Amino acid sequence: MREILDAIQSGASSGDIAALPIPESYRAAHILKSDEQMWAGVASKDKDPRRSVHVGDVVTPELAPDEVYVAVMASSINFNTVWSSIFEPVSTFGPMARLARESEWAKRHDQPFQVIGSDAAGVVLKIGSAVRNWKPGDRVTVHCNHVDDQDQSAHNDSMMAANQRIWGYETNFGGLADLAVVKANQLMPKPEHLTWEEAAVSALCNSTSYRMLVGRNGARMKQGDVVLIWGATGGIGAYATQYVLNGGGIPVCVVSNADKAQILRNMGVEAIIDRSAAGYQFFTDDGAHDEAEWRRLGKDIRALVGEDPDIVFEHPGRQTFAASMYVAKRGGTVVTCAATSGFMMEFDNRHFWMRLKTLIGSHFANYKEAWEANRLIAKGMIHPVMSQVFTLEQTGEAAYQVHHNMHEGKLGVLCLAPEEGLGVTNPELRDQLGDKLHRFRR
């Protein structure tokens, strides 16, 4: 990989990069099928990604005609890195075995290991014979929607594709590695003003929040909408907050400590709820819902902005879902993409139907949505929310921090990039944006 890194850093031509030999193996953060049962009987919070994420060499798979090899300069930790590494809610080796049954090329994904990671920024090294729009040497970010576009169901909205998967979570050969294998239809241009690690952290979370709030498949936020955002400095929440501010909405941001509240103030948010200070107990000790606490949250929101939320940006799941469904305005929308605290949810349907609310399930984003979300980053209108950077060897530690909610925004991971701060090709835009690019840095 040394030769590849040298070529990238010296600005080698497309032809020179195309001529580089692809190594037979590469360094990757991976989990092992043989570890699948290692957490039997262990509580979720005690499952430690530092024990299940391994960093070492894996064999380079052959390249399919519609794929490219990307030399990964940097990647990021997503919450799905946590899910893979603790084998919850299911082991990801099952989805990969099913993928392997779909085609000859797909068989490569069924291995005793999985290279994890659903984000990457880097350089195209080699393209498959059917790839048209990209060439070796292109600087790219990778989105994680893995779709077979020969299937009719993949058209219209590719998130509706019968064989839609999340790359690096439900597929092998993901981004937390020195090399990645991606479909050409996952590539997007790297925002020029960003470093490799800044460019690597956004695609998954930013695109998800874009679809949930802005794109036509989500809640379609409009000017003046009050939007309640749980986890407003977390991975998806910090992009959601930016979309609401940009789009003329009124964010009501929930976080769990004063430092996070300060980050939000620096971003220009006025209505902030510290859920730890408020001490909401949406469930009684015997596990029943406590409607009085939903009402207390609703009163707190009204005290801040004078009305109920038009939209609730929901993802904590079981712990907050019933409250979210309750506090949404009459005719309002709850849009959800996750259930971090538990996926079996209950809510009081009377408040839902009598007040004519809408619930939208949302999942990642199609190529067009991811492209639009990336375009906003490239234009300096949305910013990466990276707070810390780790090395590839520290992937387990970084996933541990996300698992235990010890982070803000996103955690970057250096792969081939030897240090932070490299990869900027538009320093003018970077200077213009100034501190906005560093609001999440610790």
* Nearest-approach distance from CB 389 to ligand NDP, in angstroms: 15
- Interface residue with ligand NDP, options 30, 315, 383, 430 (CB under 6 A): 315
Examine residue 79 and tell whether it contacts ligand NDP (CB under 6 A).
Answer: yes
Which residues lie across from 313 on neighbouring strands? 229, 335
Considering only residues 364, 367, 390, 400, which one is a binding residue for ligand NDP as defined by CB under 6 A? 364
Q: Is there binding between residue 47 and ligand NDP (CB under 6 A)? A: no
Per CB under 6 A, 206 contacts ligand NDP: no
Query: Which residue's CB atom is positioned nearest to ligand NDP?
Result: 234
Strand order across the beta sheet in which 358-361 lies:
271-274, 250-255, 226-229, 311-314, 333-336, 358-361
Q: The tokens of 22 are what? A: 């692809």
* Rounded CA separation 5/71 (Å): 8
Interface with ligand NDP, residue 324, by CB under 6 A: no
Q: Which stretch binds ligand NDP (CB under 6 A): 16-24, 26-34, 171-179, 333-341?
A: 333-341
Establish if 391 lies at the interface with ligand NDP (CB under 6 A): no
Site string for ligand NDP, 243-262 (x = CB under 6 A): -----------xxx---x--
β-pairing, 250-255 vs 271-274, is parallel
- Find the binder of ligand NDP among 269, 338, 373, 377 (CB under 6 A): 338
Stated as kind and residue range, the H or E segment containing 388 is strand 386-391
- Is residue 50 within 8 Å of 397, Cβ to Cβ? yes
The nearest distance, CB 282 to ligand NDP, in angstroms, is: 9
C-beta closer to ligand NDP: residue 75 or 208: 208
Q: How many residues bind ligand NDP (CB under 6 A)?
A: 30
CA 252 to CA 207: how far, in whole Å?
Answer: 21
Q: Is 402 in the site for ligand NDP (CB under 6 A)?
A: yes
Binding of ligand NDP at residue 275 (CB under 6 A)? yes
Let me know if 158 is exposed, middle or buried by CB neighbors in 10 A (0-12, 13-18, 19+).
buried
Mark out the alpha helices in 306-394 (DSSP H runs). 321-327, 349-353, 367-378
Q: What does the angle CA 269 – CA 274 – CA 275 come to, to the nearest 5 degrees? A: 135
Residues composing the chain: 442
Least separation in angstroms between CB 92 and ligand NDP = 13
- Report the alpha-carbon distance of residue 47 to residue 266 in Å, rounded: 35
Nearer to ligand NDP, 26 or 440 (CB): 440
Q: Please tell me whether residue 271 binds ligand NDP under the rule CB under 6 A.
A: no
Angle, helices 203-213/235-246, rounded to nearest 10 degrees: 50
CA atoms within 13 A on the CB side of 440: 24
**Using rule CB under 6 A, residue 383 touches ligand NDP:** no
- 273/254 Cα distance (integer angstroms): 5
Q: Is 283 in the site for ligand NDP (CB under 6 A)?
A: no
Q: How near is the Cβ of 313 to ligand NDP at its closest, in Å?
A: 10
**Contact footprint for ligand NDP (CB under 6 A):** 78-80, 204-205, 208, 230-231, 233-237, 254-256, 260, 275, 315-316, 319-320, 337-338, 340-341, 363-364, 402, 405
